[in-house]
Chain A
Amino acid sequence: MSANGSVIQVNGLSKVYADGFEALKNVNLDITEGEIFALLGPNGAGKTTLINIICGIVNGSSGSVTIDGHDIVDGFRATRSLIGLVPQELTTETFESVWATVSFSRGLFGKPPDPGHLERVLKSLSLWDKKDNIIMTLSGGMKRRVLIAKALAHEPRILFLDEPTAGVDVELRQDMWAVVRDLRDSGVTIILTTHYIEEAEQIADRIGVINHGEIILVQDKDQLMRELGKKQLILDLDEPLDEFPQQLASYNLKFGAGPKEIIYSYDTQAKHTGITALLSELGSAGIRFHDVRTTQSSLEDIFVNLVKKIQ
């Protein structure tokens, strides 16, 4: 690990597929040890390509990736031993039992058998009572759990989850986040991709946004929300209002759910939010209110704005 605590370093990584399509364009990215990093981007942005190169499934065209100080090509043994991958597609064995497939995964990654560890993993994913079942007979959700168990079978220090919650039910989603948080607490670095923004918002420490094969932005989640987030001040009026008085025109007020709710949007980063002035002007215009609340724009809004701005 390097001095600044980064465990994965992606340097100038590009990928041109055989058909000439440029899926990644000079990607630079540092992942900090122990963090949960969410890679956000629309379908086709290059998320899976990036992960597959780091994990050794796809060859990069140029640039390099270093994991824990080892190059992913020359030091593939060291780098791949550290990584667990839950792929996007539901690709499981068919005729094997759950126990056999997780044992296989552990062995494949060069670890001696450890039934105790596998038992803990299966229990944490509510798979223990299914351990002798043939994978073919399991539901889609259960198969996804099996893929997670396989990825954790060799005790990876870095876990990649590629669209882990696409088409997954609430129960599995909750179980999965519980497992992810436990892993993070034990020091595992987690990189997940998603196009559900609320997911990134809930769980990530840092967020990277990728679009058309380029990393547009990498930022601390809270900071991102603060910097790019617009806040809204919502006032519940005592009396309904027909229209806004002339002296309030500069505030760009809007009606909310009805004529008794007005919304004022402001930028949290601005020097003057204008809230104090607005409130006193409302008072002098004789508009009385009985409740005030604020809302912050979600990552979804931020994301949509970002992508729009770039295009």
Chain B
Amino acid sequence: MNWFGIGAIYRFEMARMRRTLFQSIVAPVISTSLYFIVFGAAIGSRITEIDGVSYGSFIVPGLIMLSLLTESISNASFGIYFPRFSGTIYEVLSAPVSVVEIVLGYVGAAATKSIIIGGIILITANLFVDISVAHPIWMALFLLLTAVSFSLFGFILGVWADNWEKLAIVPTLIVTPLTFLGGSFYSISMLPEFWQKVTLFNPVVYLISGFRWSFYENADVAVGLSLAMTLAFLLVCLIAVSWIFKTGYRLRT
């Protein structure tokens, strides 16, 4: 293993976050606060409780997932897209680092960043509402798996995109809707029956449900199913990444 190589990529990516520290931390704090003001206060005054949890507390896991997903995807996709765009990728391609090492560096850094942001949101949310974590280990596991899977997904996106527009379109056109429709702000059981069925095709439902279960022990789908779906998504991303490197797709002409 080229540990120095992994470390170099990881540190380089983390340095990017440090340069924009203010933006990286302040942005999620502000957006979380806004969600609490808008959703918590406005909607929360009508929906007081869902499954025995106050509405404000209920949306916390969904909010964290929302940020985790978008941050993982945007950090990882930008991390690999930018060197491709600027040409500096030549150095990584010419270095004695394997596929696994490149992915560990880029995806590891992106996942770290989104987990840090998830933590910041959790702390911010704690200022507004009561939060209890029933299963901290499960919570950490879902946090980690989601951050890693979606950072991998972001990495794939950053390799696939050949212009800035494509880089932006997947998160805004696919991921954000899926997250909003995935039960971040409501329980699936509140939907009409037909839409409950449709929703089960949304992979984000399983992430949010499992993650919320680790907080409040109530879930839309069984926690084992949530875990299985998360792992399946991770596996699909891993296969895609290894295919990318094996064929040199969009990296080596």
Please give the residue numbers on chain A whose beta carbons come within 8 Å of chain B beta carbons, in ascending order.
17-18, 55-59, 76-81, 83, 85, 87, 89, 91-96, 100, 103-112, 150
Closest chain B residue, CB of each to CB of A90: B87
Question: Which 5 A-B residue pairings sit nearest by Cβ, starting from the closest?
Answer: A107-B8, A91-B87, A80-B96, A55-B94, A110-B2
Q: Is B97 an interface residue, CB under 8 A from the partner?
A: yes
* Cross-chain contact A109 with B5 (CB below 8 angstroms): yes
Q: Bound complex: CA of A58 vs CA of B94, how far in Å?
A: 9
A96-B15, A107-B4 given; A59·B96 CB < 8 A:
no
Q: Is B28 an interface residue, CB under 8 A from the partner?
A: no
Q: Bound complex: CA of A100 vs CA of B95, how far in Å?
A: 17
* Cross-chain contact B5 with A85 (CB below 8 angstroms): no
**Which of B5, B248, B252 contacts A107, CB < 8 Å?**
B5
Closest chain A residue, CB of each to CB of B2: A110
Beyond known contacts A57-B94, A107-B11, A109-B95: 12 more, CB 8 A cutoff: A56-B93, A56-B94, A57-B90, A58-B252, A59-B253, A79-B96, A91-B86, A93-B88, A100-B15, A106-B8, A108-B5, A110-B97
* Cross-chain contact B90 with A85 (CB below 8 angstroms): yes
* Cross-chain contact A94 with B86 (CB below 8 angstroms): yes
* Cross-chain contact B91 with A150 (CB below 8 angstroms): yes
**Which of A18, A76, A104 contacts B8, CB < 8 Å?**
A104
Contact with A along B198-235 (1 / 0, CB 8 A): 00000000000000000000000000000000000000
Q: Bound complex: CA of A112 vs CA of B7, how far in Å?
A: 11
- How many chain B residues touch A (CB < 8 A): the figure is 27
For residue A78, which residues in chain B have a CB less than 8 angstroms away from its CB?
96
User: Most A CB atoms within 10 A — which of B19, B92, B93?
Assistant: B93
Q: Bound complex: CA of A202 vs CA of B72, how far in Å?
A: 52
Residue contacts A-B, CB under 8 angstroms, 30 given: A17-B253, A56-B93, A56-B252, A57-B93, A79-B96, A80-B95, A81-B96, A83-B94, A85-B94, A87-B90, A89-B87, A91-B90, A92-B88, A93-B88, A94-B86, A100-B12, A104-B8, A104-B11, A104-B12, A105-B8, A107-B5, A108-B4, A108-B9, A109-B4, A109-B5, A109-B96, A110-B5, A110-B95, A110-B97, A150-B91
Q: Bound complex: CA of A104 vs CA of B2, how far in Å?
A: 13
Contact with A along B11-29 (1 / 0, CB 8 A): 1100110010000000000
Nearest CB of B to A309, in Å: 32
For residue A103, which residues in chain B have a CB less than 8 angstroms away from its CB?
8
Q: Bound complex: CA of A185 vs CA of B16, how far in Å?
A: 39
* Cross-chain contact A77 with B15 (CB below 8 angstroms): no
A59-B248, A81-B96 given; A108·B253 CB < 8 A:
no
For residue A89, which residues in chain B have a CB less than 8 angstroms away from its CB?
87
* Cross-chain contact B4 with A111 (CB below 8 angstroms): yes
For residue A55, which residues in chain B have a CB less than 8 angstroms away from its CB?
93-94
Closest chain B residue, CB of each to CB of A76: B96
* Cross-chain contact B7 with A18 (CB below 8 angstroms): no
* Cross-chain contact A110 with B96 (CB below 8 angstroms): yes
Contact with A along B81-124 (1 / 0, CB 8 A): 00000111011111111100000000000000000000000000
Nearest CB of A to B244, in Å: 13
Q: Bound complex: CA of A94 vs CA of B93, how far in Å?
A: 19
For residue B248, which residues in chain A have a CB less than 8 angstroms away from its CB?
59
Q: Bound complex: CA of A279 vs CA of B71, how far in Å?
A: 85
For residue A58, which residues in chain B have a CB less than 8 angstroms away from its CB?
252-253
Nearest CB of A to B173, in Å: 28
